Every structure is written in structure tokens, then in C-alpha cells.
Amino acid sequence: MEPLDLQVLRDAAAWFAAGHGVCLVTVVQTWGSAPRPPGALLALRDDGVASGSVSGGCVEQDLIDRVRSAGLPERPQWLSYGVTPDEAARFGLPCGGTLRLLQEPLSDPAWIGELLERTARHRLVRRTLDLASGLVTLTEGRRGDALEFTETTLHATFGPRWRLLLIGAGQLSRALGSMAQALDFEVLVCDPREEYRCALNEAGLVWLPGMPDDVVREIEPDAHTAIVALTHDPRLDDMALLEALKSQAFYVGALGSRRTSSARRERLRLFDLSDAEVARLHGPVGLPIGSRTPGEIAVSVLAEVVAVKNGVAVAG
């Protein structure tokens, strides 16, 4: 799986290559309890086939009906839904929600290939659309860049896929990896014990051979990467954590009891880590929900990872 917006672009490029007319619809502004955030994408084919979502409901059907009855737009145009209570009810927008959309014809999909290639290399990409000419330019994006628009331009940032690196293979890694995949994370698993590899391949997880500390350095963790140590073996976990805590990874955690976690922090302080770097470690890993089984522990860990990803404060 991959993030929905990137899959929408991939579908749009494939349709164009097959000879179809295509337009993209972007959510640029919302009021009230709109179901999809600014930046959400929908691709529409000339026969009404759609990929993606801007509302999750009747707005998509109205857009499809527009294409089928009037064809694709020749130039970018603004659309609004839910301006009145009656329209909000008609289009299934909750609590008086309102959407402002930008619909643009896809005239040259070359930029899509370049954007997908850059994001595959874990780069942030800033897309700028000139509404008058339809010209798209791509520049380096920055973490935290928000969607911006004027009456003449649209700026949207496409980020690399979120990654989760698990140190250690086993039943918990399989459970956690499967759940993370359902949330569009790319899941990587490192364990020098080759005998664990077959079970992970069956789960569709990516196996990275080698010692964990070497692997952490090789993947160059960025602000879209989470790292969780699960082996219970300090020789594997600690060496990986030494590299992870010095990296840009947005989340670093390790499995273990409070006593084990306290001892781990004391060991880490013996190396070249600052107090601030050691304090980044989430341990015991996961939210305290009384987890006992591998599945419950996976829910706890993934919930904490997602909370940190979404900027929700949790105890370290």
C-alpha cells in the first residue's frame, strides 16, 4: 500500500497514458466538520471513474455527474459545496461543513512521475500550480509546509511515505507490522537471525539483513520514520537505539518493563548521547492499556506512534 494521495496521482497518470481525459480535484479550504482535510485529492476520468476522495460521500457523485454531463473542465476552476444548510444536508456534510475545491484538467502528467520518484527517495516535494497556464513546478518541500492558495496559484506538499522500522522479528513484529501496513506505513524489519525471515516474508514485511545499528544508519531515518526495538536483547536493541536517538526519526521506542526501561536509559547514558537524546526514548513502549497478547501490545505501540505522528502529546 502507499499513501492515498500518491496512489491517486499514480492512477491519474495511468489513465492519461491509456488515452483518457483526466482532471484532479483538490480540497483547498474547509469550514465546520468537513470530512476530508485540505490537500485531499480526487482524480476523475472522462467516463466518470474516480480515485481518491474529497468528502467520502455525495460530493464525489456530484463531481462525477458533472463530468458525465458537461465533460472535463478546460482550465482550473473553483467549486464550493455546503454553503447553505440545505446544500450541506444534500451533500452529506456534517455540522454545516463547507468545502472549497479546485478542479484542474491534467494536460501533461510528466510532473507526476517526477513527484513519485522523489517521494520514493523519501523527499518532501512542494507542488505549485499556476492557475492561468496550468503549469506545474516542483521544488523541495519542508516538513510542516501547509497547503496554500491564492486566486492565481496553488501550493501543496507531498511527503514521503511514513516508515516503521522494527528491530527484531517474531510474533509481535508480525502483528505490529500488519496493523501498521493497514495505516499505510512502509514496514521494515531488521533481525540478524536469518531463521525468522520466512515468517516475515509471508506477512509482506520488508526484511533488512545486517546488524540493527548498521541498518539504522543505512536507512537514514528522517522525520517520517519511527523505530521500535522489540528483541529484549540489549546487544541488538541498545546498539540500534544509540543510532536511532541521534537521528531525525520522529519516534523511537523500546519494549520492556519500567525497570528494564530505566536500566536501558542508564546504559545509554554511558555512550555519546545527550540527556535530551536519551529523553526521546519511549519506554515502556506504547500506551498503557493493559496489553497482554501480541495483538494488544501491537495496538498499544501503534496508537502511541500515531499519536506522536499527529502531534498529540504522550508520556515519554
**Judgement on whether residues 145 and 279 belong to the same structural domain of the protein:** no
With respect to residue 250, please indicate whether it lies within any of the assigned structural domains: yes
- What confidence score (pLDDT) does residue 145 get? 83
Q: What is the CATH number of the domain that holds 193?
A: 3.40.50.720
How many structural domains are present in the chain?
2
Q: Tell me: the pLDDT tens digits for 243-274?
A: 999 999 999 999 999 999 999 999 999 998 99
Summarize pLDDT for 95-134 with one digit per residue, the tens.
Answer: 556 789 999 999 999 999 999 999 988 888 999 999 999 9
Please give the pLDDT value at position 33.
60
| Nine-digit cell string for 113 | 512521475
Q: Are residues 202 and 122 in the same domain?
A: no
Q: Model confidence over 139-179: pLDDT tens digits?
A: 998 877 889 999 999 999 998 889 999 999 888 999 999 99
User: Are 194 and 268 members of one domain?
Assistant: yes
Cis status, amide bond into 284, omega within 30 of 0 = yes
What percent of the chain lies above the pLDDT cut of 90?
62
Distance of CA 294 to the CA centre of its chain: 24
256 and 269 within one domain: yes
pLDDT in tens, 194-244: 777 766 666 678 889 889 999 999 999 998 999 999 988 888 899 999 999
Strands lying side by side in the sheet with 163-167: 206-208, 186-190, 163-167, 225-229, 251-254, 281-282
What mean pLDDT value characterizes the chain?
88
If asked whether residues 211 and 150 sit together in one domain, one would say: no
Q: Which domain holds residue 233?
A: 163-309
Indicate whether 77 belongs to any domain: yes
Q: Are residues 62 and 108 in the same domain?
A: yes
* Model-wide pTM > 0.85: no
Last residue of a domain, which of 158, 188, 223?
158
Residues 207 and 69 in one domain: no
